[in-house]
Chains A and B, each alone.
Chain A
Amino acid sequence: MIQLIAAAEENNPLLPHPAEMVIGGFAFLLVLFFVGKLLVPRIQKTLEERTVAIEGGLKKAADAQEEAQRALAQYKEQLAEARHEASRLREEAREQGAQIKAELREEAQAEARRLIEAAHAQIEADRQQAFAQLRSEIGRLSTDLASRIVGESLEDEARQRRTVDRFLTELESSNAAVR
């Protein structure tokens, strides 16, 4: 035991041996050079790049979102515009339709009027024709009837015409009176 204490005093554990310090210093400097000088900067660079990449990714995502928002807004605007345009077109079409309808109606009415007028004119003409025909017919019938009743032949053309004219005048005047 005494020997042990003596040995401990000889080798005071608190007194560093120069050899240990040289070895320790050498080992540490060796590691410091290779790890500290060469390897740590690499991982620092990579970590930095990773940060940049992540930040870049986040920024890209944010940009994409913003872009999407912008596109959405644009689409909405376009949609609203299209709706507005459509309603405008519809309105226009309706107006045009109404106009066309009115035009057509007017045309049809004009056509109808024209037809009616034509029909009237035709009727008038027919009536005139019938009237003229009737007039000669009635004249002849009347003279026939008169000659038969009177029993005399009215051969004389002049007389006959006169008689007929007189009769017709009478007839017309009576007719006018009736009208």
Chain B
Amino acid sequence: MLPLLAAEEFQAPGLGLFEWPALVAGQAWFNKPALFALIAALIVLVFAYSAFSNPRLVPRGVQNLGELAYEFVREQVARPFLGKDSDRWMPLLFTMFLFIWIMNLFGSVVFIQFPVMSRIGYPAILAIGVWIMVTYLGMKHQGALGYFKNMMFPPGLPKWMYVLVAPIEFASTFILRHVTHAVRLFATMMAGHLIIALFSEVGWHFLFVQLTPAGAVIGVMGVIMTILLTAFELFIQALQAYVFALLTAMFINGALHAEH
């Protein structure tokens, strides 16, 4: 019994959770996250199609749900920042919110149980896209120089302050906020996945692999925590999708209109 116990010592799940082998031999790119990224796209497509392909004045069935999502994004994400420009940017913001949310949601779907956004590549490409678009919009609406001038030299400060402010503003607005845009989503999904994996591993290990009276208590705690954290994670998944779209709206607004 003793050697067995040593062999089956509890090991916390690590970053290996986020490494996936190729699903098809030789095609390294085609792993589980890639598959579910494509499935997420398909789900969003099918949902949006069934809701909006033939919209009616008096909504029915899926259209109600679609309108609920659409109006949530419009009222909570687009309108606060973009106001009258909302409708123009809704296609992007709505798609973004839904796409990210479904990708996150896979973290809590039984048998899938992996939030695709916990692979940095997926949020990164979205953030990079937003970065390029926002820079382009800023240059278009404020002029190539004007964009950087408005960014780096916010008015109303004593002249000598700009020595400090200008580089900070440049780094913050031009680079860091876009990095954190991606990292925030990635990190919350990764951490959430990791911590749920940890508690479910605790439950599995102490209740099934190695059942002891003292361990059982820990195991039950692990299961309870897993359930509670899954509920919390469902909230975080939606919240992060919302925050990502919200920040995108904010960046767009900043590019369209100089702050002062």
Tell me whether A122 is interfacial, beta carbon within 8 Å. no
Are A20 and B121 also in contact (CB < 8 A) when A37-B91, A43-B66, A49-B57 are? yes
Determine the distance from Cα of A10 to Cα of B100 in the docked complex, in whole angstroms.
27
Partner of A21, one of B56, B90, B125: B125
* A30-70 Cβ-contact flags toward B at 8 Å (1 or 0): 11101111011111111101100100000000000000000
Pairwise interchain contact B19-A31, C-beta atoms closer than 8 A = no
Partner of A7, one of B15, B34, B45, B63: B15
**Residues in chain A near residue B99, CB distance under 8 A:** 27-28, 31
Determine the distance from Cα of A39 to Cα of B46 in the docked complex, in whole angstroms.
11
Range class of the A interface residue count: 35 or more
Determine the distance from Cα of A92 to Cα of B63 in the docked complex, in whole angstroms.
72
**Residues in chain B near residue A37, CB distance under 8 A:** 91
| Closest partner residue, chain B, to A52 (CB atom) | B57
Pairwise interchain contact A50-B28, C-beta atoms closer than 8 A = no
| Closest partner residue, chain B, to A17 (CB atom) | B121
* Residues 30-77 of B contacting A (Cβ, < 8 Å): 33-34, 37-38, 40-41, 44-45, 48-49, 51-53, 55-57, 63, 66-67, 70
Determine the distance from Cα of A32 to Cα of B91 in the docked complex, in whole angstroms.
7
Are A11 and B126 also in contact (CB < 8 A) when A34-B45, A50-B57 are? no
**Residues in chain B near residue A41, CB distance under 8 A:** 91
Determine the distance from Cα of A44 to Cα of B87 in the docked complex, in whole angstroms.
8
Are A13 and B120 also in contact (CB < 8 A) when A19-B34, A32-B91 are? yes
Pairwise interchain contact A20-B33, C-beta atoms closer than 8 A = yes
Are A40 and B15 also in contact (CB < 8 A) when A20-B34, A25-B129 are? no
A21 to chain B, nearest CB (A): 4
Pairwise interchain contact A36-B55, C-beta atoms closer than 8 A = no
B176 to chain A, nearest CB (A): 14
Determine the distance from Cα of A114 to Cα of B116 in the docked complex, in whole angstroms.
128
Pairwise interchain contact A31-B70, C-beta atoms closer than 8 A = no
Pairwise interchain contact B119-A20, C-beta atoms closer than 8 A = yes
* A3-23 Cβ-contact flags toward B at 8 Å (1 or 0): 010011001011111111111
**Residues in chain A near residue B16, CB distance under 8 A:** 4, 7
Tell me whether A24 is interfacial, beta carbon within 8 Å. yes
Pairwise interchain contact B41-A43, C-beta atoms closer than 8 A = no
Pairwise interchain contact A44-B90, C-beta atoms closer than 8 A = yes
B17 to chain A, nearest CB (A): 10
B40 to chain A, nearest CB (A): 7
**Residues in chain A near residue B29, CB distance under 8 A:** 19-20, 22-23
Determine the distance from Cα of A30 to Cα of B48 in the docked complex, in whole angstroms.
13
Tell me whether B156 is interfacial, beta carbon within 8 Å. no
B186 to chain A, nearest CB (A): 8
**Residues in chain B near residue A25, CB distance under 8 A:** 125, 129
A-B contact pairs, 5 of them (CB 8 A): A8-B14, A20-B34, A21-B125, A42-B52, A45-B55
* Chain A residues in the interface with B (C-beta under 8 A): 4, 7-8, 11, 13-25, 27-28, 30-32, 34-37, 39-47, 49-50, 53
